[in-house]
Amino acid sequence: MVIADDQVLVRTGFRMILMSEGIDVVGEAANGDEALRVSRETHPDVVLMDIRMPGMDGLEATRLLLADTPTAHEPPRIIILTTFDLDQYVYAAITAGASGFLLKDVSPEHLVAAVRMVRAGDAMLAPAITRRLVERFAVPTVNPRTEALHKDLATLTPREREVLGLLGRGLSNAELAARFHLSEATVKTHVARILAKLNLRDRAQAVVVAYETGLITPGVA
């Protein structure tokens, strides 16, 4: 993985914590430009990306890194780091394609767990938190992206559309299983198919899509 932060002590501390738990750190960066260069050279599976760095910030670096990763390599999963617990930063990180969000004062245990969770393919941010953010900031719009998403929604089965709507409302796999009287394994299969059909990286992005396309409406149960 790669650690991008303009503070040397932060990078050093995180590197020591992660490597002590057997997580390899293959590179470090002090700004967004360096983060792009190092990530393109090393092809990490996860990037810890500071949101505020001199020059190119972490959000722009995230957008560029996820947009132009060579097809021969899987794009990294990105966890945004910040000292500011502000909703607009979290929402901007999710819409930029990040899979998680951490404050810099995170405990060592939470840091390690977050990296492992994201590396395994899960969104680190709780769906219920994502819902709160999306309800506040997302507005259904008509643009090339949402038009494409609407076409992709047409590929979903009625059950998959229903599952996506409930994902947007923050339901966990266990809650979805109880709602549909299914096993959690079957629910995971539905979720995986939805993500694949909509070309989404994780559940956090699925929540954003559900609101941006108007599949569900903020404040409507």
- In this structure, CATH architecture of domain 134-212: Orthogonal Bundle (1.10)
Residue ranges of the chain assigned to CATH 3.40.50.2300: 2-125
What are the backbone dihedrals phi and psi of residue 82, each rounded to the nearest 5 degrees, phi first? Answer: -160, 160
- Write the pLDDT tens digit of every residue in 35-76: 999 999 999 999 999 988 999 999 999 999 988 755 557 789
Q: By percentage, how much of the chain surpasses pLDDT 70? A: 82
What average pLDDT does the structure give for the chain? 84
Model confidence, pTM: 0.72
CA-to-CA distance for 63 and 216, rounded, in angstroms? 26
CA-to-CA distance for 46 and 214, rounded, in angstroms? 31
Residue 159 has pLDDT above 90, yes or no: yes
Residue ranges of the chain assigned to CATH 1.10.10.10: 134-212
Strand partners, 47: 2, 78
Six-digit token pair at 218?
Answer: 């903020």
What mean pLDDT comes out for the span 175-185? 93
Q: DSSP state, 74?
A: P
| CATH number 3.40.50.300 is the correct assignment for the domain at 2-125 | no
The angle subtended at Cα 158 by Cα 153 and Cα 163, nearest 5°, is: 80
